[in-house]
Every structure is written in C-alpha cells, then in structure tokens.
Amino acid sequence: MSYTLELGKNAKAAEALIASAGTREKNNALAAISKALLANQDRIIAENAKDLEAAKANGMSEAKQDRLRLDADRIAGMAKGVDEIIMLGDPIGEVIDGFTRPNGLRIIKTRTSLGVIGIIYESRPNVTVDAAALCLKAGNVVILKGGKEAIHSNVCLGAIMREAVASVGLPADVIQVVEDTSRETTKELMRLNGYVDVIIPRGSAGLIQAVVQNSTVPVIETGAGNCHVYVDASADLDMAVEITDNAKTQRPSVCNAIESLLVHKDCAEKFLPMIAERFKKHDVKIYGCDKTIAILGSGIEKAGETEYATEFNDYIIAIKVVESLDEAIAHIRKYSTRHSECIVTSSLESAERFQREVDAAAVYVNASTRFTDGGEFGFGAEIGISTQKLHARGPMGLRELTTVKYLINGNGQIR
Amino acid sequence: MSYTLELGKNAKAAEALIASAGTREKNNALAAISKALLANQDRIIAENAKDLEAAKANGMSEAKQDRLRLDADRIAGMAKGVDEIIMLGDPIGEVIDGFTRPNGLRIIKTRTSLGVIGIIYESRPNVTVDAAALCLKAGNVVILKGGKEAIHSNVCLGAIMREAVASVGLPADVIQVVEDTSRETTKELMRLNGYVDVIIPRGSAGLIQAVVQNSTVPVIETGAGNCHVYVDASADLDMAVEITDNAKTQRPSVCNAIESLLVHKDCAEKFLPMIAERFKKHDVKIYGCDKTIAILGSGIEKAGETEYATEFNDYIIAIKVVESLDEAIAHIRKYSTRHSECIVTSSLESAERFQREVDAAAVYVNASTRFTDGGEFGFGAEIGISTQKLHARGPMGLRELTTVKYLINGNGQIR
C-alpha cells in the first residue's frame, strides 16, 4: 500500500468518529492541543532549530528564515490561536433551512462536516496548527502537507497535536502530517479521490496553480489578489488618501492589499499630488499612465499591461487616470483577480453601480480593502480567502469547512 | 485561436450583460425561447430525424433511440419546462446574511451569478433546453456539450434559443452549443480555466469520472446513486413494504432508486416473505445473504461484495439481514454513494442515530428515497443531484447555480 493511500485510509477510519463528536469533546481536544504546545515548547524549538540550520546551509533569505522561526512567543501565539477557536460557535448541526412539503414530508437542511481535508502549504509552521485546529472544530479530518523547509517543525507539531487528541479519547488520525515531502507524494495526495474530499492550497500563486492543474480532488483556490482602489470624481479626497494609503502600505505583502489605483480624470490633478506626497512616507514606487506622468512629473515610470497585471506584494503601485466609472469598471474586469475592490465616492449612483457590476468576493464603498479577512469579518480564524466562485468565496471560516445534509421525515410517503 | 478558446471568449464577453440583467429581461428571454421552440417545431423534428437516421444506421438500441426522439409532444414538454422556470423566483440579489462590525462597517452577503457554466452530457436533447434555461435564469452563460448522437438536434435547439435571446436584446452568446463533439474539444473545454467557472457533467458514471479525472476547471459531480432502505426491528412492516417497493420499482433506472435492502434480524422472518411477494409484481430479481436465502428459499442467488456495490438501475435488488442498526450503518458507510438513504422504524433512537451517523445528501425516516429531486423538494427544476460535498449537495436548483459577493459599506474605515 502506498504511503499516501495509507494516510487516506487512516483519515477515512477517523472520519465518522470526529464527525459525530460533540462540541464539548472537540473543544476538549483543542484545549489539550493548546496546553501541549506550551508544555512542549523546548521540544518544538529543538526540532525547529534543525529546519533553521538546514535553511541557513541552503542559503535561505533572512526574511524567509524569520518566517520559519519558532520561539516561545510564537508558540504561545499558536496556543492562543487554538484557544480562540475553542471560543467560536460550532457550525455542525446548524439548521440552515426547513420546510414541510404538501405531502407532509418535513425537510430540514443541516450543516455537517466536510470529511477529509488536505491542506498543501509552504514554509510557515504556524499553518500546521491553525489549519488542524479549524478543521477539527468543524468535525473534519485533516492531512497536512507543508513545505520541505519546515518538515522537522511540522512533524513535531503534528506529533504533539496527535498525542493531545488521543489523550481526550479521539482518534489521533484526525490530524496527520505528511512526512514524505516529495513531489510524487504530493501529487498522489491530490489524486486520492474517495479518501480526500477537498484540497485547499495555501501559499504562492505558483503553488496554487500547480494544485489546480494536478488535482482530481476538488480544490478551493485561495489567495491571489490583484486589488484596486478607484477614486471617483465625487470622492472625499482626504478619505481617498487615507484609504488608498492604508490599502497599499499597511501591509503590502498580503493578498487584500491593493496593487493599482484608478483615478477619475476630474479629480486626478488635485488627488494625485496628495497621494504621491503620502506615498513618500513608505517610498512607494509609482508606475503611471501618460496622464499620471503629466501630473506627477518625470519621476514616474510608465505603466503598461504588465504593471496593471502584476501582484507586486510590495511598496509599488500602478496608477491610471480614467475617463469614467465605466472605464474603471472595465479596467477592473480585465485585470482583477476578483478578490477585493474598492470605490471611494460620494455618489450613490456610482456606489451602487460599482457594487453591482464589479465581480469580486468583496466590493467596498469608502473602506480599505484590507478588511477582507476572517477576523475582520467577525468569523474568527480563517483557513484562507477563496478567490473562486464555487463553495466558498471570500474569507473562509468554520462554516466554509462544512457541507450540508437533508434530513427528511415522513410517515410512509411514496411517489 | 482554437475553437474552444473562441467559445470561452464569447462566453466571457456575454457574462457581464447577463449577470446584470434584471429578472424581467431574463424572463422575457425565456418566454421568447419557449415561444420559438413551439414555432420551430418542424425545423427541430427535421434536424432530429437526421440524428435518428444516423442512430439507426449505427445500430443504436430501440430504448436509446426513443430517448433521442423529439416529437410535437416532447417539444411542447420542453417549452412547458421553460415556462415553469419563468415562474421560479430569481435567486440573484437575494441577501443571505448581513451585519455591522464594531468599526461601523456594514457587510452584506448577497447572491450573484456564477459566471460561465459548462454542461457535458449525453444523448437526451431535452437537457440542451433545460440546462440553458436554468443557467440563464440564474444570470449565467452556458456552454453546452452534448453527445455526438444528438448533434443535429442540439445545434438546432441552440440556434433557436440564441435567436430568441437576441430577439429580446440580450447577447446570443449566453447560450452556445459546442458543434465539434470530438474528444479533444471536450478535453479543452474542461481545461478552459479563466473562461469557464464550473463544469457540470450529466450522464453515466463513466462520463462523470472522465470529467473528474480530466477537468482543471472545478467540477460538480452529479448522479451516482447506490441507495439503501434499512428496515429496523421496530418498523411498521406494511409501511416498509410500501416504501421498499416504491424506492425499488417505481422507476428503477434513476439515481434515487434503491439498489439494496437491509433488514434487521428480528423482523426478517416476517418481512422478507412480504416484500418478496410484492416484488413478484415486477419480477424483481433478488440477490441475498445466507440468511435471506434461508428465509426465502432456493430461488435466490447469493449476494456478495459485487452485488452490494452495484448500481443495478434495473428490477434487481441485493438483500442483507443485519444483526443491528450498527451493522446497517456500517454497511451503508461501506457501499453507499452518499446520495439517499432511508430507515423505516418506529424507534426515535434508531431514527435519530441513523440521520446523525449516515453520511449522505438526503437521509430519510419513513419515506421513499425517490423524493430526492428538485421538483419534489419544491426547488422547481433541477440541473442534477450533487453527490459531492463541495458547493452543492443533493438536488441542485437555481440557488446552486449562483455564488456570493460581499458588499461592504463604510465611511472611511482603515486598518
């Protein structure tokens, strides 16, 4: 039996038990995990050190090494994250809809667990704990396939969580960490139809595309964000400066940060110098269309197809002056990854048209795109932000890790 | 530009217009389609005759030829189906959830169209009209890839619907029929990521598996049904006979018909002769376990792994006598395709355990599995019955052909 098939069979064997576990049992398991992470701090740090040593030897960048590093604070942070998941409501058993048919059949639509979830992710070992805890709370089994760079950390975190889960009488196999990080094993995991119900990739666009291209198990795409702020003719320009600056510079590396700024021609002469001045604070590099260059001067590089299509994830922005709301919407339709889009406006008509016609998971009027986040939406923790249209769109919390089941009660109805 | 890419580009170009069309516009288009089908009856029958001629020449079975045949009655039936879709409520714009965050952000979760839907199906030409009308009502663009056997009928129906849609001022390309039915084209359609948002296969298990294995576009699986009735120790045996007979014989070829019958040992001696007597009406062939054979006698063939795993879609049933509810649930877990499962019982505890522990789209207490159907659930027409867990599970009506969008309104909120 292949290694991945064994993982799949273990997962299926654990599925029914966790699916029918009560909220109290699942919360007990999460509390045991949180406690075990803190109690095993030294063990985690020692295993993490092996990953860091290998990273150094392989010449990994300082920034990436920092992402990989686990210390007492970060372990406490992971444990706190698990504690917060304990506090969230249990989605399982929620009644979504219910009705009685003319023939007397009573039909109830309830929320139930998805089954076995495969998570394929990159270097940050905190994902191992976050994802496992969320999946567990929603009554699911998880198979975690992290990056090779974090293998010692991930295997250690997995072992600690499995011990904790077993200590409260639930099957350890509700959490499995893939120990063989080879490409072949990952590919097999993506093709374990019948054992894995969904694969969620978390990480770079390259990782996500590789999963979409190779997986026969259903995939939920997350993360790619080429987001825009459009400053309408009637915008409050001070508000537009605050929103644009926040959406671009508060944390440029994340998917809900913006990459492009569209400005209506009627306010461009006034607004562009205001935002350019503000961008100096973070030394934001500006690409612009001809009109932007005409207004802001020769320090600006020319923006073209490439710049408007790029997710910079950095202190870089592409600016375009547009003739109309229509041009703004058309530009967004062409370049957007349908994650988060914003209009700053005082016009009710512009606001309504923008929200109706822009196709994205989250469409903002007069607020920063940075709010597209499970925590900011009030969902508690999130497993990612879906940029596809099936099953889940936008921040994915516990509810998005469930499916539904119809319960139908009759007294002998036949057709 | 390849043929499928052209279809994809046409579809994308039509997407925004149909997504923002109002209910009245969409209903006008549907009414025009219904009218055009009736007005072009002779044209449809003439094109259908070409398919029937080819079918005869290729030695297609009489039963299949009958499925392919279009006559005045069937065309009127298709038009009536479209009229019924006009009467259904429009899911687009429905508000699903809404809340205000502590920072004052108002977040509304609304229903919006999915985008471009590819339907891959087999011989019945009525699917061409049903699927197109449902997709249109939900504000979607559809690309229809039917079977080679029905190509003349499908192209003709597509042309008539396109003319009708254009006649009310909507883009004809909201409905496209794939005219090249080659395997290569179908494969390309399944890989048109960025142009097609979801593929829904309708047809045999073989067709569905081929789509799941080859598609990089998200797929919604439909249809496979290895369903069970379990007769509990406390069941009303007369009710159990009616339900079992209905679920098996009322229409054995469909996915919500049962394939196996499980009977608790405490009522098997009384119940099995009752149901065997009833099954004589349709000359149902019975496979049984040793205990079934001991009770019913030597006319019964031995049921094994193969019989319990087979979707007969015919007047054939596999029977097993079980020791307990646990054994029934375990058997169902092993063989079920998670479509529809039924318990007949008078015990509240058995009913509740069965509904909690059996993992299927629809779990029945004391009613026939034949009710798993969009019409029977009150959803109006259906595009299929999803047997997967992502996005949609059970009968898929108009709502299941939509996605969501968060509309967020603020007054300058930043993080």
In the predicted model, what is the mean pLDDT of residues A11-32? 95
Q: How far is B356 from chain A (nearest CA, A)?
A: 7
pLDDT of residue B63: 84
Contacts of residue B206, defined as CB under 8 A and 6 or more positions apart, other chains included, come to none
**CA A62 to each of CA A58, A150, B212, B255: distance values in angstroms, whole numbers, following the listed order:** 12, 15, 42, 57
Task: Specify whether B321 is located in the same domain as B233.
Answer: yes
Closest by CA position to A397, among listed A208, A206, A222, A192: A222
pLDDT band at A233 (very low <50, low <70, confident <90, very high): very high
Rounded to a whole number, what is the distance in Å from the CA of A106 to chain B's nearest CA? 10
Residues B365 and B266 grouped into a single domain: yes
Indicate yes or no: CB of A414 within 8 angstroms of CB of B246. yes
Contacts of A362 in chain B (CB under 8 A): 405-406, 408
Residues 6+ apart with CB under 8 A from A100: A106, A107
**B223 pLDDT above the threshold of 80:** no
Is B390's CB within 8 Å of A391's CB? yes
| Mean pLDDT, residues B358-370 taken together | 97
Are B174 and B61 within 8 A, CB to CB?
Answer: no
* pLDDT on residue B231: 98
Q: What is the mean pLDDT of residues B2-14?
A: 95
Q: Which of A107, A371, A412 is closest, CB to CB, to B377?
A: A107
Q: Does residue A205 surpass a pLDDT of 90?
A: no
Minimum Cα–Cα distance from A108: chain B residue: B362
pLDDT tens for residues A282-326?
999 999 999 999 999 878 999 999 999 999 999 999 999 999 999
In-domain check, residue B381: no
Per-residue pLDDT at B206: 87
SS3 at position B96: strand
Nearest CA in chain B to A408: B364
Q: What is the pLDDT of residue A123?
A: 72
Contact call for A408 and B361, based on CB within 8 A:
no
Please state, in angstroms and rounded to a whole number, the distance separating the CA atoms of residues B366 and B345.
7
Question: Looking up tokens 């375990």, which residue turns up?
Answer: B330
Which residue bears the tokens 């098939």?
A5
Mean pLDDT of A63-90: 94
pTM of the full structure: 0.91
Q: Could you tell me what percent of chain A has a pLDDT over 70?
A: 100
Confidence of residue B381 (pLDDT cuts 50, 70, 90): confident
pLDDT value, residue A299: 82
Q: What is the pLDDT of residues B242-292, one digit of tens each?
A: 999 999 999 998 899 999 999 999 999 999 999 999 999 999 999 999 999
The tens digit of pLDDT for each residue in A248-293 reads 999 998 899 999 999 999 999 999 999 999 999 999 999 999 999 9
pLDDT tens-digit readout, B26-83: 999 999 999 999 999 999 999 999 999 999 999 999 888 998 999 999 999 999 999 9
CA A355 to chain B, closest CA, distance in angstroms equals 7
pLDDT at A222: 84
* CA B19 – CA B140 distance, rounded (Å): 6
* In a shared domain, residues B257 and B166: no
- CB contact under 8 Å between A368 and B411, yes or no, is no
Residue A276 and residue A357 in one domain: yes
A415 contacts B377 by C-beta, under 8 angstroms: no
Q: How far apart are CA B358 and CA B375, in angstroms?
A: 24
Note whether B258 and B351 are same-domain residues.
yes
Q: Do B394 and A409 touch (CB under 8 A)?
A: no
Residues 6+ apart with CB under 8 A from B205: B223, B224, B311
In this complex, do B390 and A212 lie within 8 Å of one another by their Cβ atoms?
A: no
For residue B319, give the nearest of B349, B348, B352, B297 by alpha carbon: B297
> Which residues of chain A neighbour B243 with C-beta distances below 8 Å?
412, 414
Per cent of chain A over pLDDT 90 is 89
Same domain, A302 and A403: no
Q: Is residue B335 part of a domain?
A: yes
- pLDDT tier at A22 (50, 70, 90 boundaries)? very high
**Chain A, chain B: beta-carbon pairs less than 8 Å apart:** 193
Q: Do A368 and B239 touch (CB under 8 A)?
A: no
Supply the CATH number for residue B335's domain: 3.40.309.10
Mean pLDDT, chain A, rounded, equals 95
Smallest Cβ distance to A355: which of B99, B218, B407?
B407
Chain B residue with the nearest C-alpha to that of A389: B403
Instruction: Give chain A positions within 8 Å (CB) of B371.
Output: 105, 408, 413, 415
Query: What confidence score (pLDDT) does residue A381 get?
Result: 81
Closest-CA residue of B relative to A344 is B412
Q: Which residues of B touch A245 (CB under 8 A)?
A: 414
Q: How far is B236 from chain A (nearest CA, A)?
A: 9
Task: Give the residue numbers spanning the domain of B348.
Answer: 227-375
Q: Model confidence at B224, in pLDDT bands (50, 70, 90)?
A: confident
Residue B123 has pLDDT above 80, yes or no: no
In a domain, A94, yes or no: yes
Is residue A24 very low, low, confident or very high in pLDDT (cuts 50, 70, 90)? very high
The reply to whether B217 and B362 lie within a common domain is: no
Taking contacts as CB-CB distances below 8 angstroms, the residues of chain B near A243 are 412, 414
Whether residues A73 and A217 fall in one domain: yes
CATH of the domain at B185: 3.40.605.10
Residue B311: closest CA among B339, B342, B273 = B339
Q: Does one domain contain both A152 and A124?
A: yes
Q: Rounded to an integer, what distance in angstroms lies between the CA atom of residue A25 and that of residue A30? A: 9
Contacts with B250 from chain A: Cβ below 8 Å: 414-415
Residue A414 placed within a domain: no
At residue A157, what is the residue type? L
Check B391 against A391: CB less than 8 A apart.
yes
Rounded mean pLDDT of chain B? 95
User: From the CA of B346, how many Å to the nearest CA of chain A?
Assistant: 10
Same domain, A131 and A240: no
Mind telling me how many Å the CA of A256 is from chain B's nearest CA?
A: 12
CA distance B363 to A345: 50
- Residue A219: what pLDDT? 92
Nearest-neighbour CA in chain B from A56: distance (Å):
35
Nearest residue on chain A to B196, judged by CA atoms? A389
Give the rounded percent of residues in chain B with a pLDDT score beyond 70. Answer: 100
- Amino acid A6: pLDDT: 96
The reply to whether residue A404 touches residue B411, judged by beta carbons under 8 angstroms, is no
CA distance B191 to B177: 17
Contact (CB<8Å) B407/A361 = no
CB-CB under 8 Å, B16 with A412: no
Identify whether A91 is part of a domain. yes
Question: What strands, in cross-sheet order, belong to the sheet with A141-145?
Answer: A175-177, A141-145, A116-121, A198-202
B357, A391: Cβ pair inside 8 Å? no
C-alpha dist (Å) from residue B242 to B39, B248, B270: 44, 10, 15
Q: How far does A65 lie from chain B, in Å, by closest CA?
A: 27
* A60 and A142 housed in the same domain: yes
**Minimal Cα distance from B211: which residue of A?**
A216
- Angstrom CA distances, B85 to A113, B135, B137, B297, B398, stand at 32, 10, 7, 51, 9
Instruction: Say if the Cβ atoms of B407 and A363 lie within 8 Å.
Output: yes
CA A104 to chain centre: 43
What is the distance in angstroms between the Cα of B67 and the nearest Cα belonging to chain A? 23
User: How many angstroms separate the CA of residue A82 from the nearest CA in chain B?
Assistant: 23
pLDDT value at B210 more than 80 = yes
Q: Which two tokens stand for residue A166?
A: 């077993």
Q: What is the pLDDT of residues A316-374, one digit of tens each?
A: 999 999 999 999 999 999 999 999 999 999 999 999 999 999 999 999 999 999 999 99
Q: Is the pLDDT of residue A1 over 80?
A: no
Reduced DSSP (H G I as helix, E B as strand, rest coil) percent helix, strand, coil of chain A, to 5: 50, 20, 30
The sign of the CA dihedral A122, A125, A130, A133 is positive
pLDDT tens digits for range B77-107: 999 999 999 999 999 999 999 999 999 999 9
Q: Please tell me the predicted confidence (pLDDT) of residue B107.
A: 98
Structural domain count of chain B: 2
Of the residues B97, B108, B403, B404, the best mutation for testing chain A's interface (the one with the most A CB atoms within 10 Å of its CB) is: B403
- pLDDT for A101 beyond 80: yes
> Which chain B residues have a beta carbon less than 8 Å from that of A408?
362-365, 367, 371
| B328 and B265 housed in the same domain | yes
Find chain A residues with C-beta within 8 A of B412's C-beta: 236, 239, 242-243, 366-367
A136-183 tens-digit pLDDT: 999 999 999 999 999 999 999 999 999 999 999 999 999 999 999 899
Nearest CA in chain A to B379: A101
Distance between B160 CA and the closest CA of chain A, angstroms: 29
Nearest-by-CA chain B residue for A361: B405
In a domain, A383, yes or no: no
Give B5→chain A minimum CA distance, Å.
17
A246 vs B contacts (CB less than 8 Å):
414-415
Mutate to test the interface with A, among B331, B344, B390, B401 (most CBs of A within 10 A): B390
| A406 contacts B377? CB cut-off 8 A | yes
Which of A254, A252, A65, A45 lies closest to A153 in space, CA to CA? A45
CB contact under 8 A, A412 and B243: yes
Per-residue pLDDT at B380 exceeds 90:
no
* Structure token pair of residue B106: 């108002």
